[in-house]
Amino acid sequence: MPRFSPPRGALRLAAASLAAALTLAGCATGPDPGPDLVTGDDGGSGPASTSESATASLPALTAPASELSWTDCADSAVRTYGVRPATGTRIECAVLDSPIDPADQDAGTLTVSLTRVRSASTPTQAVPVVLTTGSDFPSTLGALLLATGPGRSLLDTNPVVAVDRRGLADSSAVDCLTRDERTAIFTNGQVGRARDTAARIETLTTAAASASDGCTEALDPTQLSYSIANAAADIDTLRRAWKVDRLALLGIGEGADVVLAYTADFGGRAGRIILDTPTAFGKPAKDRARLTAGGVQSALQTFAQRCAAADSCPMGGDPAGTLARVLADARAGRLGSLSEAQALSAITTALATSPSSSATTRQVATMVADAANGDVDTLAAAAERGATLRLSDGQLLARCNDATGTVGQNEVPALITRWADQYPLTGTDTAMSLLRCSGWGTAPTSNPPSDLPVVPVVLNTTDDPVNGGQGARELNATLLRAGVTPFAVRWDGLGYSTLANSTCAAALVTDYLGTTPLSGPTERDCPT
């Protein structure tokens, strides 16, 4: 994957003429809130309550009036992400220059990468769905997963356009850490002889602080311009380039935070809001980590249970025990150079980036079983892929920009003790991960939307191997405070995206993208 590699002390900004900036920005100097919400019958006493206006009608969505310069990139996308969509899938790429600071048009631009995914049946003038996975993965991977799994039926009616979070892909990818800093962060401090908790904490916090200094120097003065608010602004740059009033938005995992930030900052420009396995918007870092530890623990237990229920599980008669032993061996340094963080990343990434199926369960179980028997080659390769997809310099920068209520290194030992008891597979690693942003600056906190222009759809599974799937419960309170009761869909499966893995969820989303409001129960179940 090409990388943007500024020297420390300088930032290379994509060139943009004033005319181009004015065209894309619509001559605005800040967020464009969009069309007013529907008013009440009195003709103008103010916006109607969101629950009333949003259920009475759906905002109109239109196809782009002006298109980007799309080029075929199927071969490179498959090669980069290791995911091969269904036959006939059309994969095209484009780039877009977006203002670094939407409130300061003279601050320069950076390049945002986009990927459009369609099927052979997608109508030419169909309304696109704008997809973001936030900092979980490059959003392009999220689009490929959708095109690979059962949810690809959505593509027969609507194209999906993935907007990679700034700093993650192609020419604008941030590259500001040293090799040693990356190694310490990838391994959560488990480098060389740093095996005990105190040594790991010292190694990780030292590397994190050094990485912060280096990235701050390389990116100054824009080191805090990679937050979810900036990601939301990039999406609105796309809306203006398309010359449409509203967007259909799909946020998967941490991408749901980006969609909510967009809704808060750009008001009625959100014409549809789909939140898929969302994280807990606005929660402090420690609370988000605790939810992740519990949810990923549940996902790993479900993985072991599914293997146990199948014929001839590669992990033997006690799959849960085999999985626990491999992770314990990694924690103790008995898997060669593989750390616990790398082993967990390998397993959870493999589960997240393949369709939820018995074949995926067996493939990942074989990898774990091989490691238990002393052959760590496949697990090591999967760990390298996990680092590439989930822990690039740009992703670390974005997550640290977003962090709230950061945790000090003196708090971590107690968290490890408590969480390791509650979540034996994930607790120690999750607590250590809180130190990856030690010493980093954080961007201003994004506020949740106070109202929404449309009732959102929330898709969720409690067995998400990336974020844990526990955020939907927390998010529900945020939506209620905004005056809406979402359409909530539960999928009792194991996977990163409910939409990608469920034809039932895809059918509901297809209906939601139409002109008729959804009806029926607001809580539904989709079969696995």
- The CATH number of 67-171+229-282+454-526, from 1.25.60.10, 3.30.43.10, 3.40.50.1820, 3.40.190.10, is 3.40.50.1820
DSSP code at position 435? G
Please give the pLDDT value at position 45: 29
Neighbours of 87 (CB within 10 A): 7
Cβ–Cβ < 8 Å for 269, 246 = yes
Contacts of 381 (CB under 8 A, 6+ apart): none
Question: Between β-strands 247-252 and 523-526, what pairing exists: parallel, antiparallel or unpaired?
Answer: unpaired
Placement of tokens 């493939």 in the chain: 363
Placement of tokens 């918007």 in the chain: 281
Please give the pLDDT value at position 105: 74
pLDDT above 70 coverage of the chain, percent: 89
Lowest mean pLDDT segment, chosen from 31-35, 167-171, 372-376: 31-35
Cβ–Cβ < 8 Å for 67, 118 = no
What DSSP string describes 47-103?
Answer: BPPHHHHHHH--------SS----EE-HHHHHHHH---PPTT-EEEEEEEEEEEETT
Is residue 419 predicted with pLDDT exceeding 90? yes
Q: How far is CA 286 from CA 71, 257, 404, 430, 525, in A?
A: 42, 17, 9, 10, 30
Please give the pLDDT value at position 33: 61
Is residue 329 predicted with pLDDT exceeding 50? yes
Token output for 76:
């490179």
**Which residue spans of the chain are classified as CATH 3.40.50.1820?**
67-171+229-282+454-526
Query: Which bin fits 85, alpha (ψ -120 to 50), beta or left (φ > 0)?
Result: beta
Cα 332 from Cα 450, distance rounded (Å): 48
Taking all residues of the chain, what is their mean pLDDT, rounded to a whole number?
A: 88
Please give the pLDDT value at position 35: 57
Cβ–Cβ < 8 Å for 484, 492 = no
Cα 64 from Cα 70, distance rounded (Å): 13
Cβ–Cβ < 8 Å for 249, 272 = yes
Length of the chain: 528
Residue-wise pLDDT for 242-294, tens only, equals 999 999 999 999 999 999 999 999 988 999 999 999 999 989 999 999 999 99
Is residue 428 predicted with pLDDT exceeding 80? yes
Residue-wise pLDDT for 448-477, tens only, equals 898 899 999 999 998 999 999 999 988 888
Please give the pLDDT value at position 34: 61
Q: How far is CA 332 from CA 301, 327, 347, 349, 462, in A?
A: 21, 9, 18, 22, 29
Answer with the residue of higher pLDDT: 59 or 17: 59
Cα 264 from Cα 34, distance rounded (Å): 11
Cβ–Cβ < 8 Å for 456, 448 = no
Cα 119 from Cα 151, distance rounded (Å): 12
CA angle, 380 then 385 then 388, to 5°: 130
Report the sign of the C-alpha dihedral through residues 162, 167, 172, 178, in that order. Answer: negative
Cα 290 from Cα 280, distance rounded (Å): 11
Rounded to two decimals, the pTM is: 0.90
Residue-wise pLDDT for 36-58, tens only, equals 433 222 333 233 333 443 445 78
Please give the pLDDT value at position 51: 41
pLDDT above 90 coverage of the chain, percent: 78
Lowest mean pLDDT segment, chosen from 54-63, 338-347, 471-480: 54-63
